[in-house]
Amino acid sequence: MKKHLAATLCLLLLAATASFAGNLRFSSFIGDNMVLQQSTQVRIWGFADPGSSVSVSASWLSSSVSGKAGADGRWEVMLRTPSATFTPQTVRARSGGQTVTANNVLIGEVWLCSGQSNMEMRLSGGNGTPVEGSLQEIAQSGKYKGVRLFEVRKKQALVPETDAEGEWKECNPNNSPAFTAVGYFFATRLSDILGVPVGIINASWGGSVIEAWMSEGLLKDYPDVNLANASDSKVNAMYKPMIMYNAMFRPASQYSTAGIIWFQGESNISISYLEYADRLTAMAELWRKDIGRGDIPFFIVELTPYDYYDGPYGFQDEHGPIVREQQFIASQRIPNAAIIGTNDLAYPYEQKQVHASQKRQIGERLCYMAMRTTYGFEQLPALNPSFRSAEVRDGRVLIRFNNANLGFMGTDEIKGFEVAGGGGTFHAAKAEVMPGGVVAVWCDLVPNPVEVRYCFKDFEVGTLISGNGLPVIPFRAKVEPAPQDK
């Protein structure tokens, strides 16, 4: 009897000790295989008994930093990181007799990726949605020793949360199939070029509207947003306001990042599409404020060509170019922002495929943009040509572009231009490249054009490519008479 009682007491003591030992923990974002942003102050946070002191040390620091758990058990400290290194480091937290350790930590560059399914889409692709060249990339992914991914698991919340589920994964053939394809191509190319580790945090949800990634404070003044939908089980999660901001972005925003990549907009084709630029601008400002590192780069991936249809959420035909236009407007409004043109990255047979397969080119263009705007390669011609001005001379529209000093690549036929006269009806137009990067556009049916547009359709694959290999951003514009004609 005494032996049985002693054994029972021993088991109870072990259980109590195990429970106590589990009170100290890191946030899910802080753990084995993580990449920390180099040469800055990074937040290390976690949870412990309320009121308890926590000491955090790192293998590259000579002394520890202390913090204290609040009433909710959350604690945080700030650590100064060194310059990038592939040498594995450790971060350790202690509280009382408890210790937790993050091993195999690298120091480098960290970027946040977010959006809907085209960002969420895995390197391995999906049923009927392949990623071009994925097999070779997956097979060779182990050579990118410094690339790591943290995938924020999908969750809904009505109020901002302090942590999310997920774990850091190393890049290798076993893990890379589940990496975001766009994020993978961006991170591996950037790591290869800069020679530093690169970590990516992916917080994406297929089909999500932009309102799902915005706060209640921003949304409460929008008359078309019903905040009650956030808690309505009958509403599809993709269309619920603020829930992804609260459950996925807010926890991720506590992690120190170098920049943000945003690939979203398909689900706003029929929902607040005319207000998209305003909302994206407001969201970018909010996100940067939450991250707390100033105007870090904000890259917007242009929606690839796709033939939208009249869906269950309203009229959608020909709204695609309007959202792309809104994306471009936002890229001009948001400080330190840029747009990544993609209107050449669809095959004719992908007209009904919203997930175009050419994700490598998108990731690489993001990498080139980061090199130019973030990492000091200011002469790298990574900017897409965009509309500057248009004037009429002898019935021909002469169009000039920004970022077109390298001219345009030759092509047998430039498609996608249209002109309209006073009646407002657009007609397909012919085009040719003139000296100085000017493009002349004309149509015999429109002798006096007053409007011009390029690739302003749901599905129109761009053929006007700059000498740097990047496509012209789709546009529409009024035409001015030539100076001598005024």
Span 236-260, average pLDDT? 98
Of 287, 475, 461, nearest in space to 385 by CA? 475
Domains of the chain, by residue range, sit at 5-106, 108-373, 386-485
Span 121-150, average pLDDT? 96
What sign does the CA torsion over 115, 315, 236, 217 have? positive
pLDDT value of residue 14: 37
Span 84-98, average pLDDT? 97
How many Cβ atoms from other residues are within 10 Å of residue 126's Cβ?
A: 13
The arrangement of secondary structure in 386-485, i.e. its CATH architecture, is Sandwich (2.60)
Asked if domains 108-373 and 386-485 share a fold, the reply is no
| Residue 28 half-sphere exposure toward CB, CA atoms < 13 A | 18
Considering only residues 310 and 265, tell me which one the structure prediction assigns the higher pLDDT.
265
pLDDT value of residue 21: 40
Token pair 């071009």 is at which residue?
132
Span 73-86, average pLDDT? 98
What b/e string do you get for 413-447 counting C-beta neighbours within 10 Å, with b at 16 or more?
A: ebbbbbbbbeeeebeebebebeeebebbbbbeebe
Least confident of 21-35, 250-264, 361-375: 21-35
pLDDT value of residue 436: 86
Of 34, 81, 24, 28, nearest in space to 58 by CA? 81
What is the model's pTM? 0.93
pLDDT value of residue 412: 75
pLDDT value of residue 22: 52
- Quickly count helices (H) and strands (E) in the chain: 10, 23
pLDDT digits (tens, 9 = 90+) for 198-246: 999 999 999 999 999 999 999 999 999 999 999 999 999 999 999 999 9
CATH topology of domain 108-373: Rossmann fold (3.40.50)
Token pair 């990623």 is at which residue?
131
314 pLDDT band, cuts 50/70/90, is: low
**Cα–Cα distance for residue pair 350/356, rounded to 1 Å:** 6
The answer to whether residue 175 scores a pLDDT higher than 70 is yes
Span 35-46, average pLDDT? 98
CATH of domain 5-106: 2.60.40.10
pLDDT value of residue 483: 64
Distances (CA, A) of 262 to 13, 29, 123, 234: 50, 20, 17, 28
The answer to whether residue 384 scores a pLDDT higher than 90 is yes
**Cα–Cα distance for residue pair 410/173, rounded to 1 Å:** 39
The answer to whether residue 15 scores a pLDDT higher than 80 is no
Span 116-129, average pLDDT? 94
